[in-house]
Amino acid sequence: MLEVEGLSKSFGGLRAVADLGFSARAGQITSLIGPNGAGKSTAFNLVSGGIAPDRGRVRLSGADVTGWSPPRLQRLGLCRSFQITNLFFDLSVFENVRFAAQARAPRKRLFSRLASLGAPSQEAHALLDQFGLAHLGPAPAKSLSHGDQRRLEIAMCMAGSPQLLLLDEPTQGMSPTETELTKELILKLAAQGVTILLVEHDIELVMSVSNHIIVMQQGSKIAEGPPQQVRDDRRVQEAYLGVVADSESSDA
């Protein structure tokens, strides 16, 4: 579904992403992990069109989409979870999702007034049901908990049925209960056939949901493989899991 080859991006003298290559297989959950500053978000933005690479290629379903804008990538079936600030905070939860559904509706619908009014509303109801947010439909988006707002962002992303969903730290700032709900949601979307690329700091979540994990350090890939293989990798333990264990023990 997604193939990345020789991707590089420098900011001034800093090589944020250096010769990165990986792929995400259709219908699987692929995760990008690594210590702070490893280049995960930069890689994510290079793939989702937020920034253009200095070098390298991004292919989506075989098509070269390197440097494409986010709206153009969206039309090809890629969606990244919205930043929280992209919600319309004063509008209702339902209106937020309906807007997203309308914006992503196939263009021909615009010529049928009835369809353009009816279809996005139906889609919005269905999405809110699916995401367990139906009871919050009339509430203003600003009244939602942080976890519900993040799930609302994913619901809005799913309007238009993307094939590839990119999530950058979807559980950041969430309580354990909210994290668990988000984990179930990610697994449910994957079970429906959505290909997912996940950047996430919660290592236990990554280990439990991922089919394939790519580990980055200082802009480069240092390991990849299924969860158990990555967990057992000595370089990964030193570079990343060791850091987590140290910080957890120092917190305790």
83 binding ligand ATP? (CB under 6 A): no
Say which entry of ligand ATP, Mg ion, none residue 42 contacts (CB below 5 to 8 A, set by partner kind): ligand ATP
β 212-217/29-33 pair status? parallel
> Applying CB under 6 A, does 14 fall inside the site for ligand ATP?
yes
Give SS3 for 27: coil
- Least Å distance between CB 42 and ligand ATP? 3
> Which one among 8, 41, 92, 163 touches Mg ion, defined by CB under 5 A?
41
Helix or strand run (H / E) with residue 248: helix 242-251
Distance (Å) of CA 181 to CA 26, 64, 205: 23, 35, 11
**Judged by CB under 6 A, does residue 211 bind ligand ATP?**
no
Taking each helix axis as running N to C, give the angle between helix 146-158 and helix 93-103, from 0 to 180 degrees, rounded to the nearest 10.
20
Q: Which entry of Mg ion, ligand ATP, none binds 197, CB below 5 to 8 A by partner kind?
A: none
Do residues 214 and 240 lie in contact, with contact meaning Cβ atoms separated by under 8 Å? no
Least Å from the CB of residue 179 to ligand ATP: 17
**In the structure encoding, which two tokens stand for residue 218, read together?**
């200082």
| Residue 116 engages Mg ion in binding (rule: CB under 5 A) | no
Question: Number of residues in contact with Mg ion, rule: CB under 5 A?
Answer: 1
Residues making up the chain, counted from first to last: 252
Q: Name which of residues 40 to 59 contact ligand ATP (CB under 6 A).
A: 40-42
Residues in contact with Mg ion by the rule CB under 5 A: 41
Residues in contact with ligand ATP by the rule CB under 6 A: 11, 14, 16, 34, 36-42
